[in-house]
Amino acid sequence: MKKIGVFTSGGDAPGMNAAIRAVVRTCFYNNIEPYGIYEGYKGLIAGEIYLLTSKDVGNVIQRGGTFLKSARCKEFHTKKGRQQAYDNIKKHELDGIVAIGGDGTFTGANIFNREFNIPFVGLPGTIDNDLFGTDYTIGYDTALNTVIEAVDKIRDTANSHNRLFLVEVMGRDAGFIALRSGIAVGAEAILIPETQTYINELVAKLESGTKNHKNSMIVIVAEGDDAGGAYEIAEQVKQKCPNYDARVTVLGHIQRGGSPSALDRVLASRLGNAAVDALLANKTNLMIGVVNNQISYTPFSKAIKHHQKLNTDLLDLAEILSY
């Protein structure tokens, strides 16, 4: 390995810059030239590939987002697009690539590796924490703490006015953010895609809280819940209980931004370092994660096919603590 490329793809996540930095610095340590590929697969096709210096990764570990940028790329779904990407890899003489992203990123890397046999290693960069093969993904802890900080402030207003707040968080297909943040903020109910939501049961739980003289109530709603988003659920609750002063807050993309937490910075640094080590050891076509605080390796085919499962004990805990 003389030259290694690195890119970020899919949705941005806090800690991606820390991961890029770790890849670059580990390359320097091993006398390898690191190349940044701008805008993910789009940049690979367009040839936006540049040698990175120590200055490029200085003062980035604390920054959210990704300085290499990220983009969706329909062209990479085509054989012609992938051929152009391969031609650019050969032109810049890259010996291996570190791809930071999620399911879509690893799917593309898996196909590309099969077609052209270019060594790829993936790092799990997504706030959803739904990738199989790692206990935590880069960006999840920061997003979780962003939600908690926001809901704590909303609770202050809810208490002051005896209001019900439905707070919508990210989680189109997975409820990891909703579940853990809901427990952390003491939510009265947590609605997630993995479990079916019954409005009558939700209303009964809220009425029970009213009878127990709760000054305010918080309902955390994952955006992919089967009953709809927070606005739709709020309307259904109002129809059954017109006396509720129900308000909705959609946290949206603030969950993706901000300075990464200590946990995300350390996780990203460990994974970035392990990615270069894996390529040097001829390990390829796999995702690197952390399981039980140890570096783990999961083939792309398995990481893509399976998804992280929710801890059912946390579901039970959330139900008990909502009383």
Binding-site annotation: residue ranges for ATP: 11, 72-73, 102-105
Contacts of range 206-215, beta carbons closer than 8 Å, 24 or more positions apart? 206/164, 206/237, 206/241, 206/244, 207/241, 208/323, 212/323, 214/188, 215/158, 215/159, 215/162
Find out whether 7 and 19 touch, Cβ atoms under 8 Å: no
Q: How far apart are CA 291 and CA 146, in angstroms?
A: 24
Q: Which amino acid is at 266?
A: V
Q: How far apart are CA 184 and CA 96, in angstroms?
A: 41
> Which residues have CB under 8 Å from 173's CB, separation 6+?
128, 130, 193, 224
DSSP line for 89-135: HHHTT--EEEEEE-HHHHHHHHHHHHHH---EEEEEB-TT--BTT-S
Among 178, 189, 236, 190, CA closest to 214: 189
Q: How far apart are CA 188 and CA 220, in angstroms?
A: 8
Is 128 labeled as catalytic in the residue annotation? yes
The helix (H) or strand (E) run that includes residue 3 is: strand 3-8
> Which residues have CB under 8 Å from 138's CB, separation 6+?
13, 14, 15, 16, 18, 19, 100, 123, 124, 125, 126, 264, 267, 268, 271
Q: How many CA atoms lie within 13 A of 278 on its CB side?
A: 28
Find out whether 259 and 62 touch, Cβ atoms under 8 Å: yes
- Of the candidates 12, 87, 95, 128, the residue annotated as catalytic is 128
3-state secondary structure of 272: helix
Q: Would you name the residues annotated as active-site residues?
A: 128
